Amino acid sequence: MTWADGDGADKIISIPLVADGSPEGSQNFTVTLSAPTGGSVIVDAPEATVNIVDPGAIDSTFVADFINGDFTRTLVQPDGKILIAGGFFELLGGRTHVGIARINSAGTVDTTFGADGGAGTDTTVFDLARQPDGKILVVGNFTTMNGTARNRVARLNGDGSLDTGFTGPDFAQASGWHVDSLALQADGKLLAGGSY
């Protein structure tokens, strides 16, 4: 694997797997970057664990770090982290969240997202979508996001902070209205469905 001078782009390697038809449960292996040449150094974690799980088998490496959950939507990001959306839920360790939180690929709370792993609404988040730039569109029955007025539609930065440059439609006078679902078109426009 090589990078040209100044190239910081992610690289993808392909590891072929042979389907032998035998159930094997959960297996994993580690890929390690080592021995850089030409004066290069490895900056981030040099190892990644690859988990292979047969369909229907329980992934024993995933430790669910949430309890008392009322989830309406999950979304796996390209980096393997998982956004979870819903109403009131408590993440293990006593962290209570309303609306949206993110967990790492192994199931532990991602404390780098929002305030201690979550972004807060005053009530339920029904759906979410990740834009190509990593920003997260959120819809639901809420009227605030992270303490700021946002009526049923909001956008978060990739770190869970509110994108204050985005203002959705004005549903402020819409008592009882809510947005249940959304889809992101190829041209970047947002389609929203619900009761309004």
* pTM for the predicted model, two decimal places: 0.68
Asked if 102 and 59 touch (Cβ cutoff 8 Å), the reply is: no
Considering only CA atoms, which of 141, 161, 146, 154 is closest in space to residue 190? 154
pLDDT digits (tens, 9 = 90+) for 48-62: 777 777 766 667 777
pLDDT at 171: 66
pLDDT at 165: 92
CB contact set of 62 (below 8 Å; sequence gap of 6+): 105, 106, 107
CATH number, span 66-195: 2.120.10.30
Asked if 110 and 81 touch (Cβ cutoff 8 Å), the reply is: yes
Q: Give the count of beta carbons closer than 10 Å to the beta carbon of residue 115.
A: 15
As annotated, the residues of the chain forming the CATH 2.120.10.30 domain(s) are: 66-195
116 pLDDT higher than 60: no
Please state, in angstroms and rounded to a whole number, the distance separating the CA atoms of residues 129 and 109.
20
